[in-house]
Structure 1
Amino acid sequence: MYADVDRFVEECVDCSSGKGRPPNPGPSPGNITPRQPFEAESMDFVTHMPKSARGNTFLLLFQDIFSGYVMCKPMSSTTAQDVAEAYEERVFRSFGASSLIRHDQDPQFMSEVFTRFRDLLGSRQRATLAYRPQANGQQERSVQTVIRSVRAYIAEVDQSDWDDHAERLMFP
């Protein structure tokens, strides 16, 4: 009976025309394929974190697009100046300037301050399309993994030590 139903559905004109063709995912337009580690970095904020004992409520993630290596910086504010300083501390001091920085359209990343900082580094900047997180899917997936990992390691019920654990989990 299963074979009969399967054959009927395959031969049914209404069934095949109603479904349409399966999507061909292929590479996303604007995909970045670096040739070496730390040639291209992506960055994103984890927001809505509970206030830590050190006053941090944000977690800025940096990810090497080539290797997937993730670095983080707990932050108390998200100004463009703070983002530039965090990049300099976490990425530039250890690995040098990336030739490309990918990010979403957060105002901090699109600001004149950050653009000038990027120009000083000699890096290009590429923002993903608005409301399209899959354009930076590797980074968005890392955000989920980091949040889950941090929550698993938090010792206190009020979660005021999350920033300490986040730094340890990322092997800075």
Structure 2
Amino acid sequence: MYNNIKIYIESCNNCQRRGKTKRREELLPLKIGGPFDKIGIDIKSPLPVTQKGNRYIIVAMDYFTKWPKARAIPNAKAETVAKFLFEEIISRHGVPKEILSDRDTSFNNALINEICDKYQTKHRLTSAYRPQTNGIVKCFNRTIGESLAKLVINKDNNKEWDDYIQAILLAYCTRRQAVLPIELMIDTNINKEKDIHEVLLERTYNIMEKLDQDLEKVKIRINQRQQIQKKKYDDKGISLKLKIGDKVLVEQTHLRNNMSAKLENQWIGLYYIHNVLDQNVYKLRHMNGKLVKGVIHGNRLKIYIEQYLEPLILLE
């Protein structure tokens, strides 16, 4: 009796399209190699146009050293992004093995794809409505935004924000932490006096040895932090793997904070799981067999429970 009622309630069509779900995919830590093997890139939303004509900030960060790059730019065109990649990343730190970005046309275009093909760099795109995949860059974007706001808040003209970007980068690279990003890049301390009596060759060996030790420490710390984050994240949700053929609903993530859509269905569908890809993303198809364009992260999906039972009424 209880199970019949429970199944009937859980399979309510309207409830499934409105209710929240506790299900979410387990956290899959990104595999980190060495310095500038993997970089994330993003563009900060439009800001007031500066006197130099800049309106956006393009940001990149190395996933290993956490070394940031940022530049004020006048537009978010593919040519501007390509120039930033070559001048700030490739020409200074070498060709990265992997670039991670969202699906914005600033990054997802023929020019960027051509550059990645030329240098044999893998370009990974995050799934829609899943900024956490490139979270380290998104967080730094917020840091830049907050820092700029504090720096220009008492200024008569906030249209000179692009003058402060390099100062923010310096502050970030030298902030107190276990191993500074700047130490991993140049292996020295800011304002540290050089010992003129030290033999150059010995100094070189010392630098190389310390850098190797620091890099190994960073690898260990990254792995430890990833495991801690994974445990905390996984403990908050229910991981239920989806299979090919499962019927699912897709969350309309853009309606979460839309006050005018409070009475709309939060979940749409039905869809079938067509293919299970890596990194917790899925390929879907409509009930008529037509494939859904793009891929969907598992956290935006929930299994649809079909109503097989009619309500059971007992008459005494």
Give the TM bin, normalised by the shorter chain: 0.7 to 0.9
String of CA shifts for 1:148-172, please: whole Å, max 9, x gaps.
1122222633311111101332149
CA distance in 1, matches of 2:90, 2:31: 20
CA distance in 2, matches of 1:136, 1:58: 19
Per-residue deviation, 1:25: 7.2
| Residue number in structure 1 paired with 2:128 | 130
| Residue number in structure 2 paired with 1:157 | 156
**Aligned counterpart in structure 1 of residue 55 of structure 2, from 54, 57, 60:** 57
2:89 partner letter: V
**Contact conserved, 1:47 with 1:58, CA < 8 A, in 2?**
yes
1:82 aligns with 2:111: no
1:36 partner letter: G
Report which of the two structures shows the higher radius of gyration computed on alpha carbons. 2
**SS of the residue aligned with 1:73?**
strand
**What is the aligned residue count?**
152
**Aligned counterpart in structure 2 of residue 148 of structure 1, from 146, 165, 182:** 146
Q: Judging changes above 3 Å, is the alpha-carbon distance between structure 1 residues 134 and 92 closer, same or farther for their aligned structure 2 residues?
A: same
CA distance in 1, matches of 2:129, 2:23: 20
**Contact conserved, 1:33 with 1:66, CA < 8 A, in 2?**
no
Unaligned runs of 5+ in 1: 1-21
Per-residue deviation, 1:136: 1.3
Q: TM-score normalized by structure 1? A: 0.80
String of CA shifts for 1:13-53, please: whole Å, max 9, x gaps.
xxxxxxxxx8787433xx42222110000000001211111
**SS of the residue aligned with 2:164?**
helix
**SS of the residue aligned with 2:72?**
strand
CA distance in 1, matches of 2:149, 2:116: 33
1:125 partner letter: H
Give the alignment's Cα RMSD to 1 decimal. 2.3
1:100 partner letter: E
CA distance in 1, matches of 2:126, 2:25: 18
1:27 aligns with 2:27: yes
2:36 partner letter: F
1:121 partner letter: Y
String of CA shifts for 1:37-90, please: whole Å, max 9, x gaps.
100000000012111111100000001011222110110011111100011111
CA distance in 1, matches of 2:118, 2:149: 37
CA distance in 2, matches of 1:113, 1:48: 22
1:63 partner letter: M
**SS of the residue aligned with 2:106?**
helix
CA distance in 1, matches of 2:135, 2:23: 18
**SS of the residue aligned with 2:159?**
coil
| Residue number in structure 1 paired with 2:309 | none
**Contact conserved, 1:73 with 1:90, CA < 8 A, in 2?**
no
CA distance in 1, matches of 2:85, 2:155: 29
Per-residue deviation, 1:97: 0.9
1:101 aligns with 2:99: yes
| Residue number in structure 1 paired with 2:112 | 114
**SS of the residue aligned with 2:71?**
strand
CA distance in 2, matches of 1:89, 1:45: 16
| Residue number in structure 2 paired with 1:10 | none
Q: Percent identity?
A: 21
1:167 partner letter: Q
Q: TM-score normalized by structure 2? A: 0.45
